[in-house]
Structure 1
Amino acid sequence: MEKRAYCVRSSANRLAGAMLLGGSDAGYWIRWLAVSSASRGRGIGTALVKSALKAFPPRSSVYVDTFVDDTLDGRAARRLYERSGFTPLSVVFDGGVERLRYCRETPSDREEVCDSLSPSGL
């Protein structure tokens, strides 16, 4: 898979969220996902994750590394991935930083995922 980047802009043309994807048949990755603090709680992170799952082939393993449990700032990210069907696999070290690795299989039936990255009300 070629690397992909997604951006979500607000109605004021400000960057509201963004995501980088990559990987291969051995495993696909949400490499980075962020939502601006002013845009949180509006479904942007969920829309980005759903778009990622739609971008990867059916029945593929999708991985993401995020904040470990004792990182308060990472609570929202962990909730987002868990609500999206990801399960924690293990703690890994990336560049000396402790991260929590999650995994999820993409849907085999191509369950409905949003086609639009612009949730209403932005």
Structure 2
Amino acid sequence: MEVVKATKEDIREWLVLAAEVEELFGPMVDDPLFIQTLERNIDEGRAFCMRENSDITGSPLLGGVMISTKHAPNYKIGWLAVSERARSKGVATMLMKHVLGQFQVPAEVSVVTFGEDTPTGLPARKLYEKFGFVPVKETVPHGPEGGSRQLFRLLLS
């Protein structure tokens, strides 16, 4: 398994992955803004994925992540998801290691993840904490499913 840059041929499988997590992230598959964002991130080399067969574009995704480098050295992890069949197998950890390696230090990396009141979001919170992200007390709008969200930050030096 390896992390690779996503290509246009992967879009169909990104949408399959997005459909799996819509319950937590809200509607994406039929959202033109999500699709435009995905296409732009792919075009600009800021979408990374792990495929079941890393050498074959368009093969089913184990996980994917999109990052924002627009305001470097302040970076954002905008979207990270792992397929249900690939959870607890190190996919999210590999994606995180890869994207953190994309940022030039010193840097600040932020991500909005699930609040403590969203039990299904606990693995995401633990992932970010494992990498040294700390919760920030800034107010973040609730997610589409009604659960709270929390901003996490990481300082890289």
TM-score (norm 1): 0.77
Question: Which structure 1 residue ranges, 4+ long, deviate > 4 Å from structure 2?
Answer: none
CA distance in 2, matches of 1:52, 1:92: 25
Count how many residue pairs are aligned between Structure 1 and Structure 2.
105
Stretches of structure 1 that go unaligned for 5 or more consecutive residues are 109-122
Which letter does structure 2 place at the counterpart of 1:83?
K
Structure 1 residues 36 and 70 mapped into 2: Cα distance closer, same or farther (>3 Å)? same
Provide the C-alpha distance between the structure 1 equivalents of 2:101 and 2:78, rounded to a whole number of angstroms.
15
Paired letter, 2:135: P
**Counterpart residue type for residue 102 of structure 1:** F
Name the structure with the higher strand share.
1
Q: Greater RCO between the two (CA within 8 Å, min separation 6)?
A: 1
Whichever residue aligns with residue 20 of structure 1, its letter is M
- SS of 1:61's equivalent in the other structure is strand
Runs of 5+ in structure 2 lacking a partner? Answer: 1-43
Q: 1:16 aligns with which of 53, 59, 62?
A: 62
Maintained 8 Å contact 1:3/1:22: no
Compute the TM-score of the two structures, normalised by the length of structure 2: 0.61
Once the 2 structures are TM-superposed, how far is the Cα of residue 11 of structure 1 from its aligned partner? Answer: 4.1
Q: 1:49 aligns to what SS in structure 2?
A: helix
Instruction: Provide the alpha-carbon RMSD of the alignment.
Output: 1.9
In the alignment, what sits opposite 2:150?
Answer: 100
Partner residue of 1:45?
92
| Percent of pairs with identical residues | 36
**CA shift at 1:59, angstroms?**
1.4
Once the two structures are superposed, the pairs formed by residues 1-122 of structure 1 within 5 Å of their partners are 4-11=46-53, 13-23=59-69, 24-25=71-72, 27-94=74-141, 96-97=142-143, 98-106=148-156, 108=157
